[in-house]
Amino acid sequence: MIETDTAGSTKYLQYMCILPLVTSDIVGSLRGDKDTILARFEHESVYWAYGKILVSLGQRPVHLVNETIAFQQSIDPPRPKPIPPPFPDHSADLYKGKLTYCTWNSLQPPTPTTATSIVKALESFPLTPNNVLIDDGWQTVENRQLAAYGAQASWLDGFASLGAVISHVKKMGVERVGIWHTVLGYWGGFSRSSETFQNVPFLTLRKNWGAVYPIVHPYQVHGFFETWYRQLSEWGVDFVKCDDMAEIEDMDSCVDDEGNSFPLHMVRAAYVEAIRRNVERFFAGRIIWYLPIHVHG
Protein backbone atom coordinates (compact mmCIF):
# COMPACT_ATOMS: atom_id res chain seq x y z
CA MET A 1 0.00 0.00 0.00
CA ILE A 2 1.44 3.38 -1.01
CA GLU A 3 0.31 6.96 -0.46
CA THR A 4 1.05 9.78 -2.88
CA ASP A 5 0.64 13.51 -2.26
CA THR A 6 -1.31 15.23 -5.03
CA ALA A 7 -1.13 18.89 -6.08
CA GLY A 8 -4.09 19.61 -3.80
CA SER A 9 -2.15 18.31 -0.78
CA THR A 10 -4.46 15.32 -0.46
CA LYS A 11 -3.46 11.72 -0.06
CA TYR A 12 -3.94 9.42 -3.04
CA LEU A 13 -4.02 5.77 -1.95
CA GLN A 14 -2.93 2.95 -4.25
CA TYR A 15 -1.76 -0.64 -3.96
CA MET A 16 1.31 -2.06 -5.67
CA CYS A 17 1.44 -5.68 -6.78
CA ILE A 18 4.95 -7.10 -7.30
CA LEU A 19 4.99 -10.50 -9.01
CA PRO A 20 8.25 -12.38 -9.72
CA LEU A 21 7.97 -14.38 -12.94
CA VAL A 22 8.97 -17.98 -12.32
CA THR A 23 10.39 -20.11 -15.12
CA SER A 24 12.15 -23.46 -15.28
CA ASP A 25 15.47 -21.57 -15.22
CA ILE A 26 14.89 -18.73 -12.75
CA VAL A 27 12.91 -18.72 -9.51
CA GLY A 28 12.22 -15.19 -8.30
CA SER A 29 11.16 -14.31 -4.77
CA LEU A 30 10.76 -11.18 -2.66
CA ARG A 31 12.21 -10.19 0.69
CA GLY A 32 11.61 -7.02 2.63
CA ASP A 33 13.13 -4.97 5.43
CA LYS A 34 11.19 -1.90 6.58
CA ASP A 35 10.59 0.18 3.41
CA THR A 36 12.95 -1.82 1.20
CA ILE A 37 11.83 -4.64 -1.09
CA LEU A 38 14.56 -6.93 -2.38
CA ALA A 39 14.02 -9.23 -5.34
CA ARG A 40 16.01 -12.43 -5.12
CA PHE A 41 16.54 -14.79 -8.05
CA GLU A 42 17.68 -18.39 -7.69
CA HIS A 43 19.24 -19.90 -10.80
CA GLU A 44 18.05 -23.48 -11.35
CA SER A 45 19.77 -24.15 -14.66
CA VAL A 46 23.23 -24.50 -16.18
CA TYR A 47 22.17 -22.01 -18.91
CA TRP A 48 22.02 -18.21 -18.81
CA ALA A 49 18.67 -16.64 -17.99
CA TYR A 50 17.31 -13.31 -16.73
CA GLY A 51 15.01 -12.77 -13.79
CA LYS A 52 11.88 -10.71 -14.40
CA ILE A 53 9.40 -8.96 -12.13
CA LEU A 54 5.96 -7.64 -13.02
CA VAL A 55 4.87 -4.49 -11.15
CA SER A 56 1.35 -3.05 -11.31
CA LEU A 57 -0.68 -0.38 -9.51
CA GLY A 58 -4.35 -0.22 -8.61
CA GLN A 59 -6.82 0.96 -6.00
CA ARG A 60 -8.55 -2.35 -5.24
CA PRO A 61 -6.13 -5.01 -3.90
CA VAL A 62 -8.10 -8.16 -4.80
CA HIS A 63 -8.92 -6.85 -8.28
CA LEU A 64 -5.29 -5.77 -8.72
CA VAL A 65 -3.94 -9.23 -7.87
CA ASN A 66 -6.41 -10.95 -10.21
CA GLU A 67 -5.68 -8.58 -13.10
CA THR A 68 -1.90 -8.81 -12.60
CA ILE A 69 -1.98 -12.60 -12.67
CA ALA A 70 -4.24 -12.57 -15.73
CA PHE A 71 -1.79 -10.27 -17.55
CA GLN A 72 1.16 -12.43 -16.52
CA GLN A 73 -0.56 -15.50 -17.93
CA SER A 74 -1.32 -13.65 -21.18
CA ILE A 75 2.36 -12.86 -21.81
CA ASP A 76 3.72 -16.19 -20.63
CA PRO A 77 4.53 -18.48 -23.59
CA PRO A 78 2.56 -21.72 -23.79
CA ARG A 79 4.22 -24.53 -21.90
CA PRO A 80 4.18 -28.19 -22.89
CA LYS A 81 1.57 -30.20 -21.08
CA PRO A 82 3.30 -31.95 -18.16
CA ILE A 83 3.48 -35.71 -18.09
CA PRO A 84 1.11 -36.90 -15.35
CA PRO A 85 2.81 -38.73 -12.44
CA PRO A 86 2.33 -42.50 -12.19
CA PHE A 87 0.43 -42.06 -8.90
CA PRO A 88 -2.41 -39.83 -7.64
CA ASP A 89 -1.31 -36.21 -7.26
CA HIS A 90 -3.79 -33.80 -5.72
CA SER A 91 -1.37 -30.91 -5.21
CA ALA A 92 -3.23 -28.82 -7.81
CA ASP A 93 -5.93 -27.98 -5.28
CA LEU A 94 -3.26 -26.10 -3.30
CA TYR A 95 -2.51 -23.52 -5.95
CA LYS A 96 -5.37 -23.48 -8.44
CA GLY A 97 -6.96 -20.10 -7.81
CA LYS A 98 -5.21 -19.92 -4.42
CA LEU A 99 -2.69 -17.59 -2.81
CA THR A 100 0.21 -19.21 -0.95
CA TYR A 101 2.73 -17.67 1.43
CA CYS A 102 6.04 -19.57 1.71
CA THR A 103 8.28 -18.63 4.64
CA TRP A 104 11.60 -19.46 2.95
CA ASN A 105 12.69 -16.11 1.56
CA SER A 106 10.82 -13.95 4.06
CA LEU A 107 12.26 -15.54 7.22
CA GLN A 108 15.89 -14.72 6.53
CA PRO A 109 18.22 -12.30 8.36
CA PRO A 110 17.50 -9.75 9.65
CA THR A 111 14.06 -11.35 10.15
CA PRO A 112 14.19 -14.14 12.77
CA THR A 113 13.26 -17.62 11.54
CA THR A 114 10.51 -18.17 14.10
CA ALA A 115 6.80 -18.88 14.34
CA THR A 116 6.33 -15.37 15.72
CA SER A 117 7.72 -13.94 12.48
CA ILE A 118 5.12 -15.92 10.51
CA VAL A 119 2.32 -14.47 12.63
CA LYS A 120 3.68 -10.93 12.23
CA ALA A 121 3.98 -11.40 8.46
CA LEU A 122 0.39 -12.59 8.17
CA GLU A 123 -0.81 -9.66 10.26
CA SER A 124 0.97 -7.25 7.90
CA PHE A 125 -0.59 -8.65 4.72
CA PRO A 126 -3.58 -6.81 3.23
CA LEU A 127 -4.86 -10.22 2.08
CA THR A 128 -4.84 -13.45 4.04
CA PRO A 129 -3.29 -16.25 1.95
CA ASN A 130 -5.22 -19.46 1.44
CA ASN A 131 -2.14 -21.57 2.13
CA VAL A 132 0.94 -21.15 4.31
CA LEU A 133 4.03 -23.28 3.66
CA ILE A 134 6.41 -23.44 6.62
CA ASP A 135 9.73 -23.97 4.90
CA ASP A 136 13.22 -24.86 6.18
CA GLY A 137 14.10 -23.81 9.73
CA TRP A 138 11.29 -25.31 11.84
CA GLN A 139 12.69 -28.80 12.45
CA THR A 140 14.63 -30.16 15.43
CA VAL A 141 18.10 -30.94 14.08
CA GLU A 142 21.57 -31.88 15.32
CA ASN A 143 24.56 -31.22 13.04
CA ARG A 144 22.22 -30.77 10.05
CA GLN A 145 20.52 -34.10 10.78
CA LEU A 146 16.88 -34.69 11.75
CA ALA A 147 16.69 -35.40 15.49
CA ALA A 148 12.96 -35.38 16.37
CA TYR A 149 9.46 -35.23 14.91
CA GLY A 150 8.50 -31.84 16.36
CA ALA A 151 9.67 -28.26 15.96
CA GLN A 152 12.74 -26.88 17.70
CA ALA A 153 12.17 -24.62 20.72
CA SER A 154 13.94 -21.59 19.24
CA TRP A 155 11.63 -21.69 16.21
CA LEU A 156 8.51 -22.11 18.36
CA ASP A 157 9.48 -18.92 20.20
CA GLY A 158 7.03 -19.42 23.07
CA PHE A 159 4.40 -21.54 21.29
CA ALA A 160 3.78 -24.91 22.94
CA SER A 161 4.16 -26.99 19.77
CA LEU A 162 3.93 -26.98 15.99
CA GLY A 163 0.25 -27.80 16.46
CA ALA A 164 -0.26 -24.64 18.52
CA VAL A 165 1.38 -22.56 15.78
CA ILE A 166 -0.80 -24.10 13.07
CA SER A 167 -3.96 -23.63 15.14
CA HIS A 168 -3.10 -19.94 15.65
CA VAL A 169 -2.39 -19.42 11.94
CA LYS A 170 -5.66 -21.05 10.89
CA LYS A 171 -7.59 -18.86 13.31
CA MET A 172 -6.18 -15.92 11.32
CA GLY A 173 -8.03 -17.18 8.23
CA VAL A 174 -5.49 -19.48 6.56
CA GLU A 175 -7.17 -22.54 5.04
CA ARG A 176 -4.26 -24.97 4.84
CA VAL A 177 -0.79 -25.17 6.37
CA GLY A 178 2.04 -27.27 4.97
CA ILE A 179 5.52 -28.09 6.19
CA TRP A 180 8.84 -28.61 4.44
CA HIS A 181 11.24 -31.51 4.79
CA THR A 182 13.87 -33.17 2.65
CA VAL A 183 13.55 -36.66 1.22
CA LEU A 184 16.20 -37.83 3.71
CA GLY A 185 14.70 -36.11 6.75
CA TYR A 186 17.10 -33.17 6.72
CA TRP A 187 20.06 -32.02 4.61
CA GLY A 188 22.49 -34.35 6.39
CA GLY A 189 20.13 -37.27 6.91
CA PHE A 190 19.05 -38.55 10.35
CA SER A 191 20.78 -38.24 13.72
CA ARG A 192 21.83 -41.62 15.08
CA SER A 193 22.52 -40.13 18.52
CA SER A 194 19.06 -38.61 18.96
CA GLU A 195 16.62 -40.25 21.36
CA THR A 196 14.02 -40.51 18.59
CA PHE A 197 16.16 -42.71 16.33
CA GLN A 198 18.40 -44.59 18.78
CA ASN A 199 16.68 -47.94 18.21
CA VAL A 200 16.09 -47.51 14.47
CA PRO A 201 18.23 -49.52 11.98
CA PHE A 202 20.38 -47.32 9.75
CA LEU A 203 22.28 -47.36 6.49
CA THR A 204 24.91 -44.88 5.32
CA LEU A 205 24.78 -43.14 1.96
CA ARG A 206 28.11 -41.94 0.57
CA LYS A 207 29.46 -39.64 -2.08
CA ASN A 208 32.81 -40.25 -3.73
CA TRP A 209 34.22 -36.95 -2.44
CA GLY A 210 33.73 -38.06 1.18
CA ALA A 211 30.32 -36.90 2.38
CA VAL A 212 28.23 -39.40 4.38
CA TYR A 213 24.51 -39.37 5.17
CA PRO A 214 23.07 -41.70 7.83
CA ILE A 215 19.52 -42.68 6.88
CA VAL A 216 16.72 -44.81 8.28
CA HIS A 217 16.95 -48.29 6.75
CA PRO A 218 14.66 -48.67 3.71
CA TYR A 219 13.00 -51.65 5.40
CA GLN A 220 11.86 -49.29 8.20
CA VAL A 221 11.29 -46.06 6.30
CA HIS A 222 7.57 -46.65 5.72
CA GLY A 223 7.07 -46.89 9.48
CA PHE A 224 9.05 -43.70 9.99
CA PHE A 225 6.95 -41.63 7.57
CA GLU A 226 3.75 -43.24 8.86
CA THR A 227 4.59 -42.16 12.42
CA TRP A 228 5.82 -38.71 11.39
CA TYR A 229 2.99 -37.86 9.02
CA ARG A 230 0.36 -39.09 11.49
CA GLN A 231 1.79 -36.75 14.11
CA LEU A 232 1.96 -33.86 11.65
CA SER A 233 -1.63 -34.52 10.60
CA GLU A 234 -2.76 -34.46 14.24
CA TRP A 235 -1.01 -31.09 14.60
CA GLY A 236 -3.07 -29.74 11.70
CA VAL A 237 -0.65 -30.10 8.77
CA ASP A 238 -2.55 -30.34 5.46
CA PHE A 239 0.25 -30.89 2.93
CA VAL A 240 4.03 -31.31 2.68
CA LYS A 241 6.83 -30.10 0.46
CA CYS A 242 9.48 -32.80 -0.08
CA ASP A 243 12.73 -31.11 -1.02
CA ASP A 244 16.13 -32.26 -2.27
CA MET A 245 14.79 -35.19 -4.28
CA ALA A 246 17.99 -35.05 -6.33
CA GLU A 247 19.99 -36.17 -3.28
CA ILE A 248 19.02 -39.82 -3.53
CA GLU A 249 19.91 -39.75 -7.23
CA ASP A 250 23.27 -38.09 -6.53
CA MET A 251 24.68 -40.71 -4.14
CA ASP A 252 27.50 -43.00 -5.19
CA SER A 253 27.17 -45.90 -2.73
CA CYS A 254 25.28 -47.22 0.26
CA VAL A 255 26.50 -49.56 3.04
CA ASP A 256 25.16 -51.08 6.26
CA ASP A 257 26.93 -50.92 9.62
CA GLU A 258 29.07 -53.97 8.72
CA GLY A 259 30.25 -52.33 5.51
CA ASN A 260 28.13 -54.48 3.21
CA SER A 261 26.86 -52.82 0.07
CA PHE A 262 23.14 -52.06 -0.23
CA PRO A 263 21.52 -51.36 -3.65
CA LEU A 264 20.93 -47.65 -4.21
CA HIS A 265 17.89 -48.29 -6.39
CA MET A 266 16.19 -49.99 -3.43
CA VAL A 267 16.85 -46.93 -1.25
CA ARG A 268 15.34 -44.61 -3.84
CA ALA A 269 12.29 -46.76 -4.48
CA ALA A 270 11.59 -47.36 -0.78
CA TYR A 271 11.80 -43.68 0.22
CA VAL A 272 9.67 -42.37 -2.64
CA GLU A 273 7.05 -45.08 -2.14
CA ALA A 274 6.93 -44.51 1.65
CA ILE A 275 6.39 -40.80 1.18
CA ARG A 276 3.83 -41.26 -1.59
CA ARG A 277 1.72 -43.80 0.31
CA ASN A 278 1.67 -41.83 3.53
CA VAL A 279 0.97 -38.52 1.79
CA GLU A 280 -2.04 -40.20 0.21
CA ARG A 281 -3.13 -41.55 3.59
CA PHE A 282 -2.64 -38.48 5.79
CA PHE A 283 -2.72 -35.49 3.41
CA ALA A 284 -5.10 -36.64 0.65
CA GLY A 285 -2.24 -36.77 -1.86
CA ARG A 286 -1.28 -33.10 -1.41
CA ILE A 287 2.50 -32.87 -1.83
CA ILE A 288 4.98 -30.57 -3.58
CA TRP A 289 7.93 -32.55 -4.94
CA TYR A 290 11.03 -30.38 -5.37
CA LEU A 291 14.08 -31.45 -7.35
CA PRO A 292 16.93 -28.93 -7.13
CA ILE A 293 19.61 -29.34 -9.79
CA HIS A 294 23.03 -30.41 -8.56
CA VAL A 295 25.81 -28.95 -10.71
CA HIS A 296 29.39 -30.13 -10.19
CA GLY A 297 32.60 -28.91 -11.67
- Residue type present at position 28: G
The burial class, CB within 10 Å (0-12 / 13-18 / 19+), for 219 is exposed
Helices (H), the chain: 61-75, 92-95, 115-124, 153-156, 162-171, 221-234, 247-250, 264-283
Which is it for strands 145-151 and 100-102: parallel, antiparallel or unpaired?
Answer: unpaired
- Residue 5 has what pLDDT? 65
The overall average pLDDT reported for the chain is 88
- Angstrom CA distances, 50 to 56, 117, 211, stand at 20, 31, 33
Identify whether the C-beta of residue 229 lies closer than 8 Å to the C-beta of residue 278. yes
- Residue 35 clears pLDDT 60, i.e. is over it: yes
Question: pLDDT category, 89, cuts 50, 70, 90?
Answer: low
Span(s) in the chain for CATH 3.20.20.70: 82-289
Identify whether the C-beta of residue 273 lies closer than 8 Å to the C-beta of residue 220. no
Tell me the pLDDT tens digit for each residue of 96-152.
778 899 998 788 888 899 999 999 999 999 889 999 999 999 999 999 999 999 999
Tell me the pLDDT tens digit for each residue of 38-53.
888 877 666 777 888 8
CB neighbours (10 Å) of residue 194? 16
Assign residue 185 a region: left if phi > 0, alpha if psi is -120 to 50, beta otherwise? left
**The pTM is what?**
0.76
CA 290 – CA 294 distance, rounded (Å): 12
Domain 82-289 has CATH 3.20.80.10: no
| Alpha-carbon dihedral sign for residues 276, 277, 281, 285 | positive
